[in-house]
A = this chain, B = another copy of it.
Amino acid sequence: MSEEEQVVIHGLVCPRPLAHDETVVLGHGSGGRMTFDLITKTFYPPFSNPTLLRGDDAAVVERPEEGKLAVSTDAHIVAPLFFPGGDIGRLSVAGTVNDLVCMGAQPLWLTASFILEEGLPLYVLQAALESMKSTAEEAGVQIIAGDTKVAERGKADGIFISTTGVGRIPPGRDVHGANAKVGDVVLVSGTLGDHGLAVLAARGELGFEAQIRSDVAPLHGLVEAIFAVSTDIHVLRDPTRGGLATTLNEIARQSGVCIEIEETMIPVDPSVEAACEMLGFDPLYVANEGKLVVIVGAGDADVVEAAMRDHPYGTGTKRIGVVCEAPERRVLMKTGIGGTRVVDVLSGELLPRIC
């Protein structure tokens, strides 16, 4: 197809003329027939399951037979809606799944509430929903309840999706941010900064061409692979907004410890590194959407590292540091030239915002 026959809408490359020219209108949010049509024709086909199709005010599900419940929520906004490696649909499912699995939970159910901007082409919505569907299938979760509102043109930005997840924490698992212990090993599942740079590149804001793909992915399988080989997992965290630096600072603060990482061990993709260097960004502060930080007792570090490397989303796992006693609530980095510097949290806005 020649370039003249394509248009890019919300980051989605489409043939021109558009096959489907229907758009979201205010009536789709009225609660009447148009809302019913939108729900039954556009939302039910990808998300079809008996609980959702019942169409009541709330979904009714059986209580899990054992374990505690984990509950997490996230609002998802991104421009463009579609970018190399992902889109807002995949992001909205993976983001909440990852928050659940970072508490050791097995995701069970998701809810999704949508705010659509008047004028949004319906095929853009459909493409996002299809992506939610396939990501939910990958993660083994059901979308059991939803809601849609329509905002006037210029009062929203295409599609906003808030997802909430409920999961079950099997007995015996106890991972949380305050659980890092002196002597623990810090692992990260792969290269840092891919998501943030991919979104910037998709916006044309890098000022040069770059083949960078977002890492957005649900990490339930990687987490289960870890629990399959170790009962000594202390902290799991996905380094999203604010990047690895912010995530490690949160853990250091919650656990009252120092985390010491080694600059030479931090995995960064060469294209991301080059782009960051040209733009003056630090990949430690750039968002990831498919990476996992694992803090594990030293005795299990080797088996956990090996299990992670065996999983498709963990092939690039690196051992990047250790948990120390002091200075408390700090993250330090041994630099490549032998020095040590404090790695602080992001203050203000580092990048043109990507979420």
Contacts and interface: CB of A to CB of B under 8 A. Distances in A.
A57 B157 contact: no
Contacts of A69: 60-63, 166
Contact of A111 (B71, B102, B151): B71
Contact of A75 (B79, B162, B169, B345): B162
A157 B153 CA distance: 11
A34 B347 contact: yes
B59 A68 contact: no
Interface string A74-115: 111101000000000000000000111011010001011111
Contact of A35 (B98, B178, B241): B241
A237 B57 contact: yes
Number of copies of this chain that the complex holds: 2
Nearest to A68: B60
Contacts of A262: none
Contacts of A11: none
Interface string A18-36: 0000000111011111111
A325 interface: no
Interface stretch (A139-147, A186-194, A311-319): A139-147
A328 interface: no
Interface string A241-279: 111001000100010000000000000000000000000
A16 interface: no
A268 B345 CA distance: 56
A41 interface: no
Contacts of A144: 71
A81 to B, nearest CB: 13
Contacts of A218: none
A57 B355 contact: no
Nearest to A174: B60
A339 interface: no
Given A32-B346, A57-B102, A242-B32, A113 B75 contact: yes
Contacts of A63: 63-64, 66-69
B32 A348 contact: yes
B57 A103 contact: yes
By CB atoms of chain B within 10 A, which of A74, A103, A114 has the most? A74
B347 A147 contact: no
The 5 A-B pairs with the shortest beta carbon distances in the complex, nearest first, are A31-B241, A32-B346, A31-B242, A162-B162, A58-B72
